[in-house]
Amino acid sequence: MAGIGNGTIFGNSFKLQPSAASDIALASLTSSDIAFLNYVGNPNGAVTANPAALCFDYTVGTVYVKASGTGNTGWVLLSTASTDLHSARFIVSPGGEADGANYTTIGAAITAAVAKGGNQSIFIQPGTYTENPTLAAGINLVAFNCDANGTITGGTPNVIINGTCTATFAGTACLSGICLQTNSAHALTVSGSNATNVILSQVFLNALNNEAVLLSSTGGSQIYYNQCNGNLGATGFGYFTQSGAGSDQWFIGGFFENIGGSVTPSILSGSSAGLTMYNVDFFNSITSSSSSSTAIQECYFSMGNSTLTIGGTGVNTLFHSSISSGSSVGLSIGVGAACYVDFLDVNSSNTHAISGAGILELGVVVFTGSSSNINTTTVTALPISLGTIQQGTWQGSNVALNKGGTNASLTASNGGIFYSTATAGAILSGTATAGQILQSGSSTTPTWSTATYPATAGSSGNVLTSNGTNFVSQAPVESVTNYTNVNHAASPYTVLSTDSYISVDCSGGAVTLKFPNSPTANQVWIVKDRTGNASTNNISLTTVGGSVTFDGVTTYAMAVNYGSVQILANATPTYEIF
């Protein structure tokens, strides 16, 4: 049914022809009239209508709704037939509505998102936004991840915030796929006293004329860099200053270039602040201080002619990483600081590859540059093991004996012997004379013997004897130590303790031998009739006092020609003949 009845239009369809100026005026004669208009272009500033009016542009398929006011402003793009993909409730583009966006500035979109309430995401279309937006908790700024990059390959990022993003809120906000570019100030500032958490995901930090990031918040704030990249475009500044007490920065992955060749370090100075870097290529040096801590693992530092300086007194670790520092010291550990180092590659041409007045807790270090010196004030072993120094000269203090070291600077000696003093290890120099043996000291330095000893035992039954200078192995030889000749003219002869073999000539008459009254126990003498006259001229054995017995008699007579006896003094004392 079609027609008009009781003020109501009935029909299957209606045709809206292009609206002339007179048509537009007639459509809003009174304040309660609501118009449907056919108008080419953006009606803002051109079409007057009452709130709730609709304006159609048949050339591009767009529809605008009169959101407020009775004049020719207040029109809001309702839809774009071919380009409005509704990726987010809040869309920012430099072209605004013509690009299917509802905001032309990021700041305006953030204000609207905060007013809407709850967590919101703002999608940013390609363009350069020269403004200083204030970030808000729960309001994320997003673009396609690929839009952030470009400088690494010499190109230009698609989405650039050219200014300072400021965060002072309590809570968390995320930025993704955006290039944060300095405009004579920091690109990102996290300040204030709130616990502010900013997550940067695949964000590009383009530091053209100033440091990129300032983290000065004292509320335990944190910045997370997830697979981010960056570039320093000039000299005189680093990537960041982290001065906030208790603050933390986390770098997970990423490639941070230094095309400008800056040797100015990034700064970590906050009390109890922390810096964690994992799997990052960082072409800028870092200097830490105060009570800050660093945890660096699987990172590559290419710093030009500058130094990675660890001066914070917190816990500092540097594992599985590489440092290239040109003509500068590669790693410096400041006074009061300690750094645990293991599996580190240092490439430096400086006199000292590692230096400083702090403590180096050393594991495995490989030196790939021309310098291989370690010159820290204190070098100690890691708790697990000292590790292996591939090259280099130990310049620190000596490792204590109870830590597996020598506590001394030792000089090798070919053939030398290692021994310990009361406090340190030492080396007894080798001897050029073969066959000398080691002799212990009296709780002091051992020495080599003056005499030499044979290297082998020699034949079976040999004995070790002295030749007056050295010891030799030879068959035993029967010999006497002292030979005494006694005749009748010398009788009676008083036997001495130094006598050993007494040869008697009794051809001229009998001979008497007087042995000691108190002989040394177990001393042995031999008496021999040398001339064979004992049967006629006896040889009498007695003592000086005449009271000590020889086999029970005080005088023992030798009466066999060429006979001989052996006399043993026992402890009684008496003498035994055998």
Q: What is the pLDDT of residues 213-252, one digit of tens each?
A: 999 999 999 999 999 999 999 999 999 999 999 999 999 9
Global confidence as pTM: 0.59
pLDDT at 387: 46
Beta partners for residue 256, in sequence order: 230, 282
Query: Could you tell me which of 398, 442, 397, 440 has the C-alpha nearest to residue 419?
Result: 440
Enumerate residue ranges in the chain where pLDDT < 50: 1-3, 81-85, 385-387, 389-391
Phi-psi region of 505 (alpha: psi -120 to 50; beta: other; left: phi over 0): beta
Whether the CB-CB separation of 77 and 64 falls below 8 Å is answered with yes
Q: Which run of H or of E encompasses 111?
A: helix 106-116
Q: Which residue has the tokens 């005088």?
A: 555
Kindly list the domain boundaries of the chain, sorted by start residue. 13-80, 128-401, 483-577
pLDDT at 239: 98
Whether the CB-CB separation of 246 and 273 falls below 8 Å is answered with yes
String of DSSP letters for 496-539: -TT--EEEEE-TTS-EEEEE-SSPPTT-EEEEEESSS-TTTS-E
Beta partners for residue 65, in sequence order: 54, 76
Cα distance between residue 38 and residue 53, in whole Å: 11
Q: What angle do CA 8, 13, 16 make, to 5 degrees?
A: 90
pLDDT at 11: 62
pLDDT at 81: 46
pLDDT at 86: 56
Cα distance between residue 125 and residue 102, in whole Å: 11
Whether the CB-CB separation of 238 and 267 falls below 8 Å is answered with yes
- Determine the longest span between alpha carbons in the chain, in angstroms: 189
Q: What is the CATH number of domain 483-577?
A: 2.60.120.640
| Per-residue pLDDT reduced to its tens digit, 241-268 | 999 999 999 999 999 999 999 999 999 9
Q: Which residue has the tokens 């003056």?
A: 450
Residue 558 tokens read as: 């030798």
pLDDT at 145: 79
